[in-house]
Amino acid sequence: MIRWGEPVSPEAERIRETYRRTFSTPEGKKALLYILTDLGFFDATKDEAAQALRNFAVRLLEQMGILHEANAETLVAQLLKLAPYDLQTHRKIGEREDFS
- DSSP assigned state of 82: S
Cα separation of 4 and 70, whole Å? 7
Best CA proximity match to 84, nearest among 75, 95, 94, 93: 93
Global pTM reads 0.78
Instruction: Dump pLDDT digits (tens) for 48-98.
Output: 999 999 999 999 999 998 998 889 999 999 999 988 888 888 888 876 555
Closest CA to 36 of 56, 17, 19, 21: 56
| Domains in the chain: boundaries | 10-92
